[in-house]
Amino acid sequence: MSSSLLLSNIHIVTKTEIIERGFVGLRDGKIDYISTSPPTGNYEKVYISRENFYLLPGMIDIHIHGGYGADMMDATPEAMNTLADHLPSEGTTSFLATTITQNHQEIEHALKNVVLWKPDNEKQAGSQAQCLGIHLEGPFISKDKAGAQPAQWIKQPDLPLFEKWLHASEQLIQIVTFAPEEDTDFAFLSMLQEKNIIPSIGHTNADHAMIERAAKHGARHVTHLYNAMSSFQHREPSTAGAALTNEKLFTELITDGIHSHPLSVKLAYLAKGSERLIMITDSMRAKGLGEGTYEFGGQTVTVRGEQALLADGTLAGSILRMKDGVKQMRQVTHCGWTEIAKMTSTNAASQLGLEDQLGSIEVGKLADLVIWDDSGELMMTICRGQIVFEKRRQMTDEHH
């Protein structure tokens, strides 16, 4: 396995500029060279880019339940490996394994499974996407806005239970989605802050005033904007309106054209800008498998076309791949590659406190990278300096 790689003649999308036809050197899993001129040092392998290929930081999906036949709640190392192995094919180099509302034992079992599997994932750093931790979605949410979360397991924030889960997860829980109106004295919110966990507003029926109060008390994230939340009315902007206008709140967005109308995606982009949006998939096990019947949170989900639905017609997660979300986002907003880099990587790394390692192309950072052509096709995914996915063309002259 090659431990050094030079990417040459490629447009490098950094935080501040696009370096045209530059050179990026990767060594021992990290970026060790960025310049407009070739390096003097030797690299074991050289990739010469085609005209108009763009190099961006690897994508970070902070809200993903499963895909490719696997679900985080399966609570097996095989399920986690299936997910981590397939994600680079859509441009995702790291992710947060996301739970769904279930009985306490099942959630605990899933948390413990990630803990046991993670060392193996770290050993596979150059061949699969890296799990950065866990996103606990539910059960501390509103029954009125359950969405596809099984209502029978929804409960009010329970501090001792959460402590138990945090201990079981060996502190791997990074984000918790909760409904602030259920946390009547904000004790749960305070606890999340003390433990340096991101409190995310979601599956909530709160009015805008409650959201503003929660943000003042330290909530700084919103789970899948527009979905499973009180919706915008011009006299009561509700959760959606507060999420769009409060600058403290980073906002997740599923850009599949199904969970939110393209105009709503455009509205979010106009309101939040690329500085405060985080693109996610919220995908479930059916992703990559086609139409049929699947399981999600103990419920039957039918996939028809691009939609995953419960029996009553409720959307049950997505089958979106990050690379397709990027296509949609570019089409709807006409944003550039610099903005895509922020919304798919930089902002997530910053929220997770990992901006010293991930989220942008800088010397010393981990070599998690993606290459796109100018039409928005994903050409290559690099995990920790190793090429893990490469789109094959009809003509096999990728390496000159």
The pLDDT tens digits for 276-307 are 999 999 999 999 999 999 999 999 999 999 99
Please report the pLDDT score of residue 392 as a whole number.
81
Give the model's pLDDT for residue 396.
41
Strand-pairing partners, residue 362, are none
The reported pLDDT for the residue numbered 51 is: 85
How buried is residue 396: exposed, middle or buried, by Cβ count under 10 Å (0-12/13-18/19+)? exposed
Residue 276 parent element (H or E) = helix 262-276
- Tens digits of residue pLDDT in 313-371: 999 999 999 999 999 999 999 999 999 999 999 999 999 999 999 999 999 999 999 99
Residues of the chain with pLDDT under 50: 394-400
The dihedral sign for the CA sequence 230, 232, 233, 234: positive
Residue 393: its pLDDT value, please?
A: 61
Residue 108: count of CB within 10 angstroms of its CB: 18
- Single-letter amino acid code for the residue at 221: H
DSSP symbol at 7: E
- Looking at residue 2, what is its pLDDT? 60
Active-site positions read 282
Of 138, 147, 151, 152, the C-alpha closest to 100 is 138
